[in-house]
């Protein structure tokens, strides 16, 4: 077993659309990688990230790699989340399931940072 403290994981700062965010910047912390899970013997789990978006930041509409599905757990803030043609306002405490192949995006719709945990799982 390996306990990980979010505060001990280096933050990666992403700038503008060149790093798959729309807005000034965003940070993510890769808490558990695919390689770490494979080394532990896990067969399906791929990654776990902690992400912070400042106000107005969003992802572009996109699909995740084929054979992947994801869950988002919003810890702080408010966001507009879209999957396919459906758009919904979510806030801290919300959990969102993203089916494999679904076109989706998330946008910080508040005046405060949006913080969320992103779990990705391989279906293969």
What are residue 54's phi and psi, to 5 degrees?
-70, 170
Model confidence pLDDT, tens digit, residues 2-37:
666 667 766 766 555 545 555 555 677 776 666 776
Helix (H) or strand (E) holding 13: strand 12-15
Cα dihedral 107, 112, 113, 114 in deg (nearest 10)? -50
Q: Decide if 96 contacts 82 (C-beta within 8 A).
A: no
Whether this model's pTM surpasses 0.85? no
Domains of the chain: 9-122 (2.60.120.10)
Kindly indicate the confidence band of residue 113, based on its pLDDT and cuts at 50, 70 and 90: very high
CA–CA gap between residue 103 and residue 100 (Å, rounded): 9
């Amino acid at each position: 077993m390996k306990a990980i403290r979010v505060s001990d994981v280096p933050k990666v700062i992403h700038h503008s659309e060149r790093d798959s965010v729309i807005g000034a910047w965003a940070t993510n912390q890769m808490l558990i990688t695919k390689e770490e899970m494979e080394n532990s013997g896990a067969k399906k789990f791929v990654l776990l990230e902690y992400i912070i978006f400042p106000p107005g930041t969003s992802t572009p509409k996109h699909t995740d790699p084929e054979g992947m599905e994801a869950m988002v757990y919003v810890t702080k803030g408010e966001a507009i989340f879209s999957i396919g043609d459906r758009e919904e306002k979510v806030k801290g405490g919300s959990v969102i399931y993203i089916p494999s192949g679904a076109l989706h995006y998330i946008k910080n719709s508040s005046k405060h940072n949006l913080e969320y945990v992103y779990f990705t799982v391989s279906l293969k």
